[in-house]
């Protein structure tokens, strides 16, 4: 049977990949994917801890987290589409003058 440590090792790997994607890549879509990898790693860790306890609160919290992540991705993709129409590129280094 799978131990919670097995799931936590996978969550650590997912967080590492997500952080690597946030630090190295400059593509807006890859940044959203990296954020989603980190969020899914947190969800996996919550499910692993929830399996150790007899109550389902952790699993319910993960369902709400997934719904919030889906809304976040929808807003992020909308922003990326608008930025692409304006700049004709999705490289985030080109978005410097959005601060003004």
Domain coordinates of the chain in residue numbers? 4-99
The pLDDT score that the predictor gives to residue 97 is 64
Q: Which residue in 46, 78, 48, 87 sits closest to 65, CA to CA?
A: 46
**Whether the predicted pLDDT of 82 surpasses 90:** no
Of 76, 6, 85, 84, nearest in space to 45 by CA? 6
What's the rounded mean pLDDT across residues 35-51?
91
> 56 in helix, strand or coil?
coil
Question: Which tokens sit at 70?
Answer: 């889906």
> Whole-number mean pLDDT of the chain?
86
Domain 4-99 fold = Helix Hairpins (1.10.287)
The pLDDT of 82-98, averaged and rounded, is 76
Evaluate if residue 67 carries a pLDDT over 80: yes
pLDDT of residue 79: 84
Q: Are 42 and 14 in contact (CB under 8 A)?
A: no
Q: What is the mean pLDDT of residues 8-36?
A: 91
Q: What is the largest CA-CA distance in the chain?
A: 55
């Amino acid at each position: 049977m799978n131990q919670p440590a097995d799931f936590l090792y996978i969550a650590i790997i997912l967080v590492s990949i997500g952080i690597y994607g946030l630090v190295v890549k400059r593509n807006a879509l890859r940044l959203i994917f990296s954020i989603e990898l980190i969020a899914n790693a947190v969800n996996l860790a919550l499910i692993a801890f929830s399996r150790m306890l007899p109550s389902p609160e952790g699993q319910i919290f993960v369902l709400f987290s997934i719904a919030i992540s889906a809304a976040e991705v929808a807003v992020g993709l909308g922003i990326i589409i608008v930025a692409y129409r304006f700049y004709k590129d999705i490289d985030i280094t080109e978005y410097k003058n959005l601060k003004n």
